[in-house]
Amino acid sequence: MHGMLDRTDFAIKRGPAIGALDPWVPSAGRMRQLLSERERVRLARIAPVVRFRKRETIYWEGDPAEAVFNIVGGAAKVCRTASDGAEHISAFLFPGDLFGLAQEGRYVGTIRALTPVTAFRFAVPALRRILADDATLEFHLIVKLMHELRQSQHHAVVLATNRAVAKVAMFLHMLERLQPASGEAANQIFLPMTRSDIAEYVGITLSATSRAFRSLTEGGILALRGRRHVTIADRVAFAKLAGVDRERAPAARTAVTSRDTRR
Amino acid sequence: MHGMLDRTDFAIKRGPAIGALDPWVPSAGRMRQLLSERERVRLARIAPVVRFRKRETIYWEGDPAEAVFNIVGGAAKVCRTASDGAEHISAFLFPGDLFGLAQEGRYVGTIRALTPVTAFRFAVPALRRILADDATLEFHLIVKLMHELRQSQHHAVVLATNRAVAKVAMFLHMLERLQPASGEAANQIFLPMTRSDIAEYVGITLSATSRAFRSLTEGGILALRGRRHVTIADRVAFAKLAGVDRERAPAARTAVTSRDTRR
DNA sequence: CGTTTAATTGAGGAAAGTCAAGTGAAGTGG
DNA sequence: CCACTTCACTTGACTTTCCTCAATTAAACG
């Protein structure tokens, strides 16, 4: 706890930070800090630090989009309300992420804090002014957006899966890769979100999520310490479910004659 | 037919084109051309025109990412191969779109032409050079990426839906909005892709897609003219299924106590 | 400590997936 | 131009999975 506060405070002093996998530079799957010291200092000058309590709504879908935020501490979720009123979660946000996606002047999703959140707040006009005369910074933003686009496409792959257990496994795998080496022991995953949130993210019901967790623990693949700490007990079986067992080799370049089967 | 060729040829002469909804400027839902004449001319100088036959693979997932493309004529699909070998379609590409998304130097998906495709090809180093000294162009790229991110998140909403008929309706609705007023009569949608492609995009089986189409035509909501031309017969019912009946009003700001239900 | 919120678990039914056969359309080569 | 092959799509019977409804337990919070 104390350690975490220190880390966040330290992060605030260093200024805004954007993490991403570079589209062109290989980095063995490790996220990189895109901003240079100079850029961070410059951005810090126009961006006040804002804090939100756990469960607080940072902004609502449809609100006038006046600012972009950069998380430096905590976690949040992006919710989109479907036409029938059902909520769907389109992303989870962690330190190094940006939020504030807009369309025609209005925010595209509702943002809710899962834990206490600390963020830098960039007023859109000020940000645009800075971007307009710093091509490098602009380029970094492009890299980050490409990263988010890939993430979102991966999310779609998870949603397209049809077995609930596989969906949950893929979700946990994603979370593990995303989780900055945040003081978690190896094979440990911390879940800042509820089971309901997970359900809404992977596109199944709360019941199904619960059953999937049970099935995973009973199968000896996971172990739970409390409800928010997951340990991966059987890496091999886990990787198989999460679909990480593929070779990185050029893959079969044969156009698969698409039958009716999905598994 | 003749008309289409002319239109593509004309588009080539005008140079690269990027269509998007602006994040901040309201435009009543109509896509806008982001590039100015000057930018289009400048880009055309570094980008040769390339053509691909119907069904041709433009590049494979995992290939070294050496170029970015801008479609000016035809349609294509982005396929991602899941670990189990199943193919999932993460997007369809139309004139005004970009493709060439990379991660650590390699393409993230396989691109296949659905119809004959005409595109501009930008070698990555040349493109980076141009971007580095044109902040406006860079900004336009940011706008386009934000547009694609929203699209991808919308795709996720479609995938999270659980009734096959609703998925297909949402897909058709998306296609209708995307379809540039391309000589199609009102309420008419042209499908450049197969039923299999649709199935892989919305995350159901080919059978289920076929049944959904049947259910929609039998219900008097759609009418088919051949397999690739759809007419919307009952706008109201269609909008209801596709989830377009929502008011744009600030929506209920009440945190819905999430039960188990998804419909 | 009691109250609210989060999560688990069970029984039954609806929906889509699977397997398999068959129809229609499109393209190919004689 | 027609027979033939192939590919795209449709349809049916059966199985699996998850969703729905509902009751209960466990944890979190004041």
Mind giving me the DSSP string for A156-208? HHHHH---HHHHHHHHHHHHHHHS-S-SPPTTEEE--S-HHHHHHHHTS-HHH
Residue type, B102: A
Residue A217 (CA) to nucleotide D24 (C1'), in angstroms, measures 21
Instruction: Provide the token pair at B14.
Output: 């005008």
Confidence of residue B60 (pLDDT cuts 50, 70, 90): very high
Place of tokens 């130097």: B105
Q: What is the mean pLDDT of chain B?
A: 90
User: How confident is the model over B44-54, as a mean pLDDT?
Assistant: 95
Tell whether A210 is within 8 A of chain B (Cβ). Answer: no
Q: Enter the DSSP assignment of A197.
A: H
Task: Note down pLDDT in tens along chain A; length 263 residues.
Answer: 444 556 788 889 999 999 999 999 999 888 999 999 999 999 999 999 999 999 999 999 999 999 999 999 999 999 998 877 788 999 999 999 999 999 999 999 999 999 999 999 999 999 999 999 899 999 999 999 999 999 999 999 999 998 999 999 999 999 998 876 665 667 899 999 999 999 999 999 999 999 999 999 999 999 999 899 999 999 999 999 998 865 555 556 665 666 788 76
**% pLDDT > 90, chain B:** 77
Measure the CA–CA gap between B200 and B43, rounded to whole angstroms: 34
User: Is B145 within 8 Å of A146 when comparing Cβ atoms?
Assistant: yes
Phi, psi of B261 (to 5 degrees): -85, 145
CB B39: neighbour CB atoms within 10 A? 18
Residue type, B171: F
HSE-up of residue A122 (Cα within 13 Å, Cβ side): 24
Closest CA to A226 of A176, A188, A171: A188
pTM confidence score: 0.94
Instruction: Provide the token pair at A249.
Output: 């080799």
Contact between A118 and A74 under an 8 Å Cβ cutoff? The reply is yes
Instruction: Provide the token pair at B136.
Output: 């406006």
Residue type, A75: A
Instruction: Provide the token pair at A181.
Output: 């080496």
User: For chain B, how many helices (H) and strands (E)?
Assistant: 8, 15
Task: Give the residue with minimal CA–C1' separation from D17.
Answer: A163
Instruction: Provide the token pair at B210.
Output: 């076929």
Contact between A34 and A140 under an 8 Å Cβ cutoff? The reply is yes
Task: Please tell me the distance in Å from A5's CA to the nearest CA on chain B.
Answer: 29
Phi-psi sector, A98: left (phi>0), alpha (psi -120 to 50), beta: beta
Closest CA to B150 of A104, A157, A261: A104
Place of tokens 């009734």: B163
Q: Enter the DSSP assignment of A121.
A: E
Contact between B155 and B90 under an 8 Å Cβ cutoff? The reply is yes
Chain A contacts in chain B segment 104-163 (CB below 8 A):
104-105, 108-109, 124, 128, 131-136, 138-139, 141-142, 145-146, 148-150, 152-153, 155-157, 159-162
Contact between B71 and B99 under an 8 Å Cβ cutoff? The reply is yes
pLDDT above 50 (res B3): no
Cα four-point dihedral sign B116, B51, B72, B110:
positive
Residue B29, C-beta contacts closer than 8 angstroms, at least 6 positions apart: A104, B21, B177
User: Is A263 within 8 Å of B86 when comparing Cβ atoms?
Assistant: yes
Q: Enter the DSSP assignment of A185.
A: P
Closest CA to A241 of A208, A200, A212: A212
B166-177 pLDDT, tens digit each: 999 999 999 998
Residue type, B18: I
Contact between B258 and A79 under an 8 Å Cβ cutoff? The reply is no
Neighboring chain B residues of A237 at a CB cutoff of 8 Å: none
Measure the CA–CA gap between B60 and B111, rounded to whole angstroms: 7
User: Is A62 within 8 Å of B250 when comparing Cβ atoms?
Assistant: yes
Neighboring chain B residues of A105 at a CB cutoff of 8 Å: 23-26
Closest CA to A52 of A79, A66, A71, A65: A71
